[in-house]
Chain A
Amino acid sequence: MTDNAIELHDIEKSFGPVEVLKGVSLTVPPSRCYGLVGDNGAGKSTLLKILSGVHPRDAGEILVEGEPVDFNTALDARLAGIEMIYQDLALAEDLDAASNIFLGRERHKGRGPGFKRLDHKRMHAEAAEVLESVGSPLPTKRQVKALSGGERQLVAVARALEFNPRILLMDEPTAALSVEKVNVVNRLIARLKDRGVSMILVSHRFTDLIQVADTIGVLVHGKIVDEFDAASHSMDDMTTRIVRLMSEAAVGAA
């Protein structure tokens, strides 16, 4: 199979009178990471949420592994092997870390249909494992509201990884993380690529993004205005290019 993992064709989206996406097209080949940058309000989160089934699109086409898809809910996307780390994390603060990781996909005791009991022991054990793998061996029984910002972020990352997604959408997954934890997440991304996971990564940290993304797209006012191969450019080159595009956009908007 040489189908691309994700193909977006001319995606458009407005919220009322506000045109947020004005025909976005991009392609993510299998086992690749697409880095998406852009100013605040450019429409990055909106684009990812369309892919993860949160928002319906107004126009355009989405192909996942060659097949046109139409997700109506976040559950549809999850069932299709697409996991998303939301910018606001989307955690239930009154629940503990393990419950959040398994929310909507609890492990059960016994088989068969009907009323199955939750398997707390297994969920805590697996949660501990996946949290460990993201470099955050925190107590799985601690309520999320009692966690630090970075710890919460890692719970969200762990949740996305627990279900072995084929496609991973990450909206600022490292915003609250220390340098050390960012490196852990970056290494994870590299390992996931080796395992065949395809990704879109939104980040304001260019320097980190450039390390893990294969292609970088610059979203300005709802359009991809530039796209380049990360391997064929020097880091300085790319940084200047992105900064120039974004400041031009800012001037244009002013």
Chain B
Amino acid sequence: MSDAADRDQTPSERSAPGTIRESGLIAWIRRTVSEVGPGLFVILGAEFLVFWRLGHPHFIQTSNFIAIGKRMAINGITAVGETIVIISGGFDLSIGSIAAMAGVGSAAVVENGGTLLGSILTALAIGAFIGLVNGAITGYGRINPFITTLGTLAIVRGVAFVLTNNRQVTVSHEGFQNLGKDTVGGMPYSVLILLLTFIFFGFIVPRYRFGRYMYAIGSNERAAALAGVRINRWKLVFFGVSGMLAGLTGFVNAFQLATGIPSGTTGIELEVITAVILGGASLYGGRGRLLGTFLGLMFLSTLLNGLILSGVSPFYQKIASGSSLILAVLFDEWRRRRLARG
């Protein structure tokens, strides 16, 4: 009876997220391309070619790719959390503020004689705590996540300013500084943490209830509740994870700059949400892939980097991210209608 499940399965079978299907690399790639949308791969390729020319000779260089990677790390670690929240039907605007608060906190710990471990745990704890608050308000309080996290965005930023009196926390702790300078086989720590975060959650999502419920709640919250899924608890988990990863981003940002900056990472939610939507997650929940987010991040980080190397004024960066966001949402709408039509 065990092969009964595979009955009638054709290669063109549309697969559902959150489950493991046929194994094999080719099958995986085919599935991923079809779920994330082949468009993103094409756009990404085109983007590389364009900047190869326009940004010559600075674009195609290892050092530049490392710069892109470091930039991707800041947005990317927290983008994993944002993807989780968006797939589950939520939204998290507070990640930039959380990252700043956690960055300041982790810098303060090492500056006051704490250990590196204490520093990172502080960042994670600050993030997780604020995330849990977000989750509790949206879940138990039944407040729209957009409003909830817009509120905590302001509150947390304000608290960071109050606690520091808007002074930066410069770090002299050597181990902390070294995290921003050293590499593992040429790979900066930030990029390593980025990859590990993606790999960890990429492993969890298809294998545990965490992933299953993230899609189920985003797809039909009421149905999940009727089936017996404890929705509000899971919202705590999803927002908690998002907060924790925003905290991790704050830690990474702090060691890259060897400073905790209360006004840092302002507005990163714009780029992060853009990357998530570009990567195929639906604003309506229930749909999206971590790999899509990764590609969306690559696209956006490369775009912003390439524009500068091509001699475009940095003032245009915001215009480019904002336009990408709107285009991504338009694309999401278009894709949704196309799927609805079959």
Contacts and interface: CB of A to CB of B under 8 A. Distances in A.
B20 interface: yes
B209 interface: yes
Interface stretch (A122-130, A185-193, A202-210, A225-233): A122-130
Contacts of B1: 125, 128-129
Interface string B33-51: 0000000000000000000
A35 B227 CA distance: 24
Nearest to B210: A115
A199 interface: no
Interface string A136-174: 011111110110000000000001000000000000000
Nearest to B209: A106
Interface residues of A, number: 46
Contact of B16 (A73, A96, A121): A96
B208 A92 contact: no
Interface string B226-247: 1111100000000000000000
Contacts of B13: 139, 141-142
Contacts, number: 126
Given A99-B212, A103-B229, A125-B2, A93 B224 contact: no
A91 B220 contact: yes
Interface of A: 52, 54, 73-75, 78-79, 84, 86, 89-96, 98-100, 103-106, 115-118, 120-121, 124-125, 127-129, 132, 137-143, 145-146, 159
A60 B216 CA distance: 34
Given A103-B223, A128-B7, 20 more contacts: A74-B226, A75-B228, A86-B226, A90-B222, A90-B223, A92-B216, A92-B286, A94-B287, A95-B216, A98-B19, A103-B216, A103-B227, A115-B208, A118-B209, A125-B1, A125-B2, A129-B1, A139-B13, A141-B6, A143-B14
Contact of A54 (B8, B9, B212, B226): B226
29 contacts: A52-B226, A73-B228, A78-B228, A79-B228, A84-B226, A90-B226, A92-B216, A94-B215, A94-B287, A95-B16, A95-B216, A95-B219, A99-B19, A103-B228, A104-B227, A104-B228, A118-B209, A118-B212, A120-B20, A124-B4, A124-B5, A125-B5, A128-B4, A132-B4, A139-B8, A141-B9, A141-B16, A141-B19, A143-B15
Contacts of B228: 73-75, 78-79, 103-105
A139 B4 CA distance: 9
A120 B17 CA distance: 13
A139 B226 CA distance: 24
A74 B228 CA distance: 6
Given A104-B228, A125-B2, A92 B207 contact: no
Contacts of A79: 228
Interface string B165-188: 000000000000000000000000
Contacts of B219: 92-95
B117 interface: no
Contacts of A128: 1, 4-5, 7
B342 to A, nearest CB: 8
Interface of B: 1-2, 4-9, 13-21, 207-209, 212, 215-216, 218-220, 222-230, 286-287, 339
Contacts of B227: 74, 78, 90, 100, 103-105, 159
A106 to B, nearest CB: 6
A54 B96 CA distance: 38
Contacts of B226: 52, 54, 74, 84, 86, 90
A139 B21 CA distance: 12
A105 B208 CA distance: 12
A51 to B, nearest CB: 13
A140 B5 CA distance: 6
A167 to B, nearest CB: 15
Contacts of A78: 227-228
Contacts of A54: 226
Contacts of B287: 94
